[in-house]
Structure 1
Amino acid sequence: MAGKVFALLDEMKIKPDSFTLAILFKACAELATDRAIKIGRKLLDEMPENYRNNVVVLNSAMHMLMKFGDVESAERVFRSIKAKGAKIYGALMNGYNLNGESWKCFKIFEEMKEKDVIPDEIEWNILIGACSKSGMLHHCQYIVNQIPLNIQNKIRTQNALIDMWGKCGSIEKAKNVFDLVVDRDTITYTAMSNNIFFH
């Protein structure tokens, strides 16, 4: 019901705080209509200076810009952030995946390593998604070799890996991951079935 958010915005007589602003950016991203894009850009332009280091607000703003297809502006917001954590890197990589620029994720991953920013499960899964889209086996193996075992053993990551290996044409590696999954769910079976069916 993102549309109703704008009705409330019209009623507001006060400036949105950081929490409200993050919600508004999210609503704009969800709708991504001409009106939503106009409102989102206006809110971003008029954003108070003290919010320009608020990670939650900037994460939300980057996601919105990526949903608008404005990769360049999202990159500008990313570069403006002084203390970048894993979630901000994840938002940028996720945006690249959304906009068909998955290859940029690998460059960002190298930057994370240089800056000693440790990805969590979400960022690893975004990287696996980038590997799926690239379809390059060497990229996939390079990323997988660096995923910590405690993350590799999580069902969501295992499902993503089955899908990734299948999309890269390595049914054998997909089957190896499938065999390791302890609590298989419908996503696990669907991912493996797709690999067998489409190859």
Structure 2
Amino acid sequence: MPENYRHDNITSNSAIGMLMKFGDVERAERIFRSIKAKGADIYGALMNGYNLNGESWKCFKVFEEMNEKDIIPNEIVWNILIGACSKSGMLHHCQYIMNQIPLNIRNKI
């Protein structure tokens, strides 16, 4: 991906989503790592891709990274995490995730 597009989160988000849909997890991760200013939308694209490619357990590592960097998950990220719990069979982890969702977002999900 050309360097000048890497500063556009919308383009990067789309590229990550497209690569994940085609199963090219490695290239999607490379683009993700090259983005300097990541927001919840970029993290969500990566997590959604992991769900699509049967690597749902990686969503929780990405979520930990978001927490470490003080990036606040949006309702899309919370939905992706709930889906990851379901797909990975980690239903016990789902309660942990549900307890972290702010009430204003929980009421929308």
User: Which residue, out of 9, 14, 21, partners 1:67?
Assistant: 21
The Cα shift of 1:142 comes to 1.3
Give yes or no for the alignment of 1:151 onto 2:105: yes
Aligned residues: 109
User: Which residue, out of 24, 41, 45, partners 1:87?
Assistant: 41
Residues in 2 aligned to 1:124 and 1:113: alpha-carbon distance in whole angstroms? 13
Equivalence for 1:51: 5
The Cα shift of 1:134 comes to 1.7
Residues in 2 aligned to 1:52 and 1:79: alpha-carbon distance in whole angstroms? 10
Equivalent residue runs for 1:109-148 within 5 Å: 109-148=63-102
Residues in 2 aligned to 1:100 and 1:110: alpha-carbon distance in whole angstroms? 19
The Cα shift of 1:138 comes to 2.4
Residues in 2 aligned to 1:110 and 1:87: alpha-carbon distance in whole angstroms? 15
| 1:119-178 CA distance string (max 9 Å, x none) | 111111011110111222321111111011111111xx2xxxxxxxxxxxxxxxxxxxxx
Unaligned 5+ runs, structure 1: 1-43, 158-199
Where does structure 1 differ by over 3 angstroms across 4 or more consecutive aligned residues?
A: none
Residues in 1 aligned to 2:10 and 2:90: alpha-carbon distance in whole angstroms? 33
Residues in 2 aligned to 1:50 and 1:103: alpha-carbon distance in whole angstroms? 32
TM-score, structure 2 length as denominator? 0.95
Unaligned 5+ runs, structure 2: none
Q: What's the Cα RMSD here?
A: 1.0
TM-score, structure 1 length as denominator? 0.53
Q: How much identity, in percent, do the aligned residues show? A: 81
Name the structure, 1 or 2, with higher relative contact order (CA <8 Å, separation 6+): 2
